[in-house]
Amino acid sequence: MCGIVGYVSGKEDGAPAIVLEGLKRLEYRGYDSWGMASLDSKGGISTLKRVGRIGGAGSAMVARKLGGGGVALGHTRWATHGGISERNAHPHLDCTGRIAIVHNGIIENYQELKAGLVARKHRLSSDTDTEILAHYIEEGMRRGMGFAEATRSIAKRLKGRSAFVALDSSGRQMAAVRLGAPLIVGVGDGGELFISSDVNGFLERTNRVMYIDDDEMALISFRRGAPGAPKFVSVPRGGEVRKRVIKIGWKRESWSKSGYKHFLIKEIMEQKYTIAQAINQDDARIMRVANGIRNAFGVFIVGAGTAGRVCAAGQYLFSDIAKKHVNATVASEFSSYRHYLTRRTLMIAVSQSGETVDLLDAIGVARSKGTRILSLVNVFGSTLMRVSDESLMLNAGTEKSVASTKATTAQLSLLTLLAYATAGRLKEGKRLLLNTAEQVNDMLNPRYEERLRKLARQLRRSRDIFIIGRGVNFPMAEEAAIKLQETSYIHAHGFAGGELKHGPLALIRKGTPCIVLVANDDTKHETISNAMEVRARGGYVIGIAPERNDAFDYWIRVPDAGEASPIVNIIPVQVLAYHLAVARGINPDYPRNLAKSVTVK
């Protein structure tokens, strides 16, 4: 959540425009408000803050407000402390106006720290936890500390996961501090340096990075000409930490909507290709990972949000395909299972961003027990990838929309492939998934989308939508509810079909929409019976199934994909969720109150 971009160059101008470009690429991380700071011609700090999305901001307007300059800092905000307003937008300044701060995360002990500043008559101009950082650096420097030591001093006192960048206009230095939230240094040509919470903030300009690890600070000086090489320092100890420049594998991806109205529908349609890309893995490596799964003394599949539902589906996939018991749990609850962890346990961590705080905390619990970590992750170089013993890339490409779609089916595909490999049937699994990718390609055509658009128009005024499934499609019913909730703001609830008679039927009345996810497996007939129960109470039954059935009022055809049914069954719901949002006048790329990468608890 929230995006940070900093830029330091020996050039005399252009920094604000470069930071603006980077912030636009990170808008999916925070879009309540945004702001920038740059060094002006007199060596002071100029700031610009706005409420709302940064997407429409132009470089000409930024140049008028901030001028040129070779140093700039920017932030896109997802509000935690303090309401959405210009006064709460970052950057924040100290009393002297010499220190500018941008910050991601939460300072859990900020009230205590703020009380001290108030008692000492500091002028605080926002309701955020962030602003106190600038004032504590100011205090440290007033007491004779250098900028770096003053920054490290307050960093040592902070509680909670966060990351911040401080700019000192008088000393012409910038400090980037990582305390559990992501922050990366990018090394450009000609000595230019970038700082960002996400490699996408500078990936168009360089693929050479220096990773800031937890409890470390990177210090950049730019007193004369080009900036010096960044110096890395341990926050707790103060000693210098040696780093190397790493060249990451990358390709320049299109950040345009490619003719689509929104990124969400573009990314849904990209599943024609990304399912096949997800399983484009080295066979020998997959079999080595599968042997580790087979021989582990206990396997946990762990994720958060949508990835958590994928993990629950994975539990069924390993049972059905590999006859292997694995435990699926959401990351925020994983610590309750710590007593079962040993050095022989394997944890499979599933994430799109690789920066989700609940998942990283869960990995910390597993690490304390010596548990081995395998990650399935979409972002190369993410924290999750770097703390794992082994990682498999999802290969889904950048996912900008907050609602996950192509990364979800990539996760499902890779877990299905691993289940087949664990069963010793890797080639069979690959054939199934490649065939599924071809069927999805055929399915996602304009006529199919129009049928779902028509259904969205019917449902746009619904108060509730229920989704049921059985077996591996029960977690997909829960994931379908997540998609409908976060895009259309309609209350949606997914549950196991067999649980209908244990309470949910009381909520069904005439016209209540109920989506039924049907697979051509041993749950088919029971699932159809559940659909009939809903219809008998007046519910409006929408069947997502390979075959038409009299139980359905509205039928959405999907391929008969066998064990890959979760993949083909969730895609129509993604399309429906998109068109429901559009029909209700909602921007589906940026749902209210949500952000792409959840880096705060």
d(CA 503, CA 352) in angstroms, rounded, equals 34
Question: Angle, nearest 10°, between helix axes 131-142 and 110-119?
Answer: 50
Q: Which of 323, 369, 596, 601 is catalytic?
A: 596
Condensed to tens digits (0 to 9), the pLDDT of residues 436-475 reads 999 999 999 999 999 999 999 999 999 999 999 999 999 9
Known active-site residue 159: no
Q: Kindly tell me the sign of the dihedral angle through the C-alpha atoms of 398, 592, 314, 297.
A: positive
Catalytic (active site) residue 2 = yes
The one-letter amino acid code at 234 reads: S
502 burial (CB, 10 Å; 0-12 / 13-18 / 19+) is: exposed
The answer to whether 385 touches 377, Cβ cutoff 8 Å, is yes
Both structure tokens of 331: 């990351």
The DSSP symbol for 185 reads E
pLDDT in tens, 17-74: 899 888 888 877 767 889 999 987 777 898 899 998 887 777 778 777 887 788 999 9
The list of the chain residues with pLDDT below 50 reads none
Region for residue 398 given its phi and psi (left: phi exceeds 0; alpha: psi -120 to 50; beta: otherwise): beta
Q: Are 355 and 362 in contact, with CB atoms under 8 Å apart?
A: no
Kindly state the DSSP code that residue 217 receives in the 8-state scheme.
Answer: E
Catalytic residue among 2, 266, 311, 430: 2
pLDDT value at residue 79: 78
Q: According to the model, what pLDDT value does residue 200 have?
A: 83
Count of C-beta atoms within a 10 Å radius of residue 251: 7
Q: Which of 188, 212, 218 is nearest to 198 (CA)?
A: 212
Q: How many CB atoms lie within 10 A of CB 228?
A: 16
- pLDDT at position 600 is 55
> Which pair of structure tokens corresponds to residue 500?
């209908």
Q: Which residues pair with 5 in a beta bridge?
A: 74, 196
Beta strand 491-496 with 464-469: parallel, antiparallel or unpaired? parallel
The percent of residues in the chain predicted with pLDDT above 90, rounded, is: 72
Torsion of CA 331, 437, 385, 55, to 10 degrees: -90
Helix axis angle, 15-25 relative to 59-66, nearest 10°?
130
Is residue 351 helix, strand or coil?
strand
Does residue 555 contact residue 517 with C-beta atoms inside 8 Å? Answer: no
DSSP 551-589: T-SEEEE----GGGHHHHHHHHHHHHHHHHHHHTT--TT
Burial, 536: exposed, middle or buried (Cβ in 10 Å; 0-12, 13-18, 19+)? Answer: exposed
What's the rounded Cα separation, in Å, for the pair 513 and 508? 9
Threshold 0.85, pTM exceeds? no
Q: Quick one: three-class SS letters along 106-174?
A: CCCCHHHHHHHHHHCCCCCCCCCCCHHHHHHHHHHHHCCCCHHHHHHHHHHHCCCCEEEEEEECCCCEE
| Structural domains of the chain, with CATH | 3-247 (3.60.20.10), 263-444 (3.40.50.10490), 445-590 (3.40.50.10490)
pLDDT of residue 254: 55
CA distance 11 to 8: 9
- H/E stretch holding 177 reads strand 173-179
pLDDT of residue 418: 98
CA–CA distance, 148 with 146 (Å, rounded to integer): 6
Amino acid sitting at position 29: R
- Classify 532 as helix, strand or coil: helix
Contacts of 570 (CB under 8 A, 6+ apart): 408, 409, 412, 476, 479, 480, 483
Q: Specify the length of the chain in residues.
A: 601
Sheet holding 554-557, edge to edge: 491-496, 464-469, 513-517, 540-545, 554-557
Q: Which two tokens stand for residue 394?
A: 């999802």
Neighbours of 537 (CB within 10 A): 15
Within a 10 A sphere around the Cβ of 454, how many other Cβ atoms?
A: 11
Q: How far apart are CA 386 and CA 395, in angstroms?
A: 17
Return the pLDDT at 77.
87
